[in-house]
Amino acid sequence: MSRISIIGIGYVGAVSAACLAEDGHTVVAVDTDPSKVAKLNAGEPPIVEAGLATLLARNVNRGRLSATTDVCAAVANTDITFICVGTPSAAEGSVELNYVKQACSDVAGALRTKNSFHSVVLRSTIVPGTMEETCIPILEMVSGLTAGRDFGVGYYPEFLREGTAIDDNYNPGLIVFAALDSRTENVLRDLNARLSCACSVVPLSTAEMIKYTSNSWRAAKITFANEIGNIAKSCGIDGQLVMKVLCSDDKVSMSPYFMRPGFAFGGSCLPKDVRALRHVAHKGGVATPMLDSVLEANTRQIERAENLVHNSGGRSVGMVGISFKAGTDDLRESPLAELASRLISKGFGLKVYDPSVRVAYQSELGGSGRGDGKVPDLKERLVARIEELIDEADVLLVGNRYEETIEPLARAAVAKSLVDLTRLRPDLRSGGFYEGICW
């Protein structure tokens, strides 16, 4: 079992302290507010949360949980410190870090007089880059020690919902953390070893980003559901029933396939149906700011890809894929066809490798090039072999992913500009001649 100190007896700190003590760890909670310290030492919760009073009282009586205002004493008598202080919004919308900075400074001061290895783990919600740009420099400067060598560092965001926090702690949907050193990583793994949820160990800034993404995604889902509910009501429909049935579909509606950053959406369904639903809403006098922004954001993603090609410096483009997705010859509202049209209109030479579209033309199918009124002379622009496309292009533009193209394109990216809208391989990141649209 671990000896853990927790800085901040607020919502996250109080719940974490109670649950960790319940798990058998020795926990010392720290706060600058003497009244919170007194309450916790009496086994009383400083906040209202279902089940918290029972856990606190039981573990204070067991001697596993105590509280103090003395940071130095808490750090001296524990092996790992969780910083759980608040990060409210500043006036202009940025995150306010005063409490985090003070906590880091206080813990670092305590580290100066400690001879044994100690890990410092942030749990506060902080924007990407805060650990590396703010927290670690303060910890090193004040302590005079080197992070990752003389003391451990980690970031371990929480995903607790008020009202169900204790259940969320023991039945998590997501466990994410980052660590500079193996000792801190091992402690965090051990703390979560009995939980059924797998641990995702990622870089510091990625863990910070995941926390903000999680909260923003929840906010977006609520906003979307509300907008659908408003439209449904204007049509005399029960919006809650609509969303209940939709959420039962984990093959398409709730699929992670659509949560993969990349290029714009297109095809014969999504663009026209979003437009149609907006039209229904506007007829009923219902505003649709979220659906409006969906279409605007989609257009911006096409512009983003266009700018990446412009910035590559090439004038001859070899495009991989032009249908709205791989495995079909359907060009109806294909964002790749729109992108190709824009590039051609601005003087770029363009050749295309798309086996499905090429087969449709070769077979003289009635729907060959269906929906395509954007790309002039498309049939003549199609090439049969990916090697031919690579040889003739200054810049390669990958819109759809075909297995046979992955290795040739990856090799070509070593010496030739490549703009990737689909991600050829998970290990590829922007750098050198390679540019990923979202990675």
325 known ligand binder: yes
358 known ligand binder: no
261 known ligand binder: yes
Contacts of 407 (CB under 8 A, 6+ apart): none
**Of the candidates 327, 99, 193, which has an alpha carbon nearest to the alpha carbon of residue 107?**
99
425 known ligand binder: no
Using CA atoms, how far apart are residues 26 and 147, in angstroms rounded to an integer? 25
244 known ligand binder: no
Given the residues 197, 235, 247, 269, select the one marked as catalytic: 269
Q: How many CB atoms lie within 10 A of CB 58?
A: 15
Query: 153 near 139, Cβ under 8 Å?
Result: yes
3 known ligand binder: no
The token pair at 89 is: 């919004």
272 known ligand binder: yes
- Strand 316-320 with 199-201, pairing: unpaired
Rg from Cα positions in the chain: 27
**Of the candidates 166, 158, 160, 195, which has an alpha carbon nearest to the alpha carbon of residue 52?**
166
Is 269 annotated as catalytic? yes
**Of the candidates 438, 386, 418, 190, which has an alpha carbon nearest to the alpha carbon of residue 317?**
418
Burial profile 217-245: b = 16 or more Cβ within 10 angstroms, e = fewer: eeeeeeeebebbbbbbebeeeebeeebee
283 known ligand binder: no
372 known ligand binder: no
- 3-state secondary structure (DSSP) of residue 153: strand
Please give the helix or strand (H or E) that residue 29 lies within, else none.
Answer: strand 26-30
125 known ligand binder: yes
262 known ligand binder: yes
403 known ligand binder: no
191 known ligand binder: no
87 known ligand binder: yes
Task: DSSP for 356-423, please give it.
Answer: HHHHHHHTT-TTTTTT--SSTTHHHHB-S-HHHHHHH-SEEEE-S--GGGHHHHHHHTTTSEEEESS-
User: Annotated binding residues for substrate, as ranges?
Assistant: 159-162, 211, 258-262, 266, 325
User: Annotated binding residues, as ranges?
Assistant: 31, 36, 87, 125, 159-162, 211, 258-262, 266, 272, 325, 332
User: Annotated binding residues for NAD(+), as ranges?
Assistant: 31, 36, 87, 125, 162, 272, 332
User: Which residues are known to be catalytic?
Assistant: 269
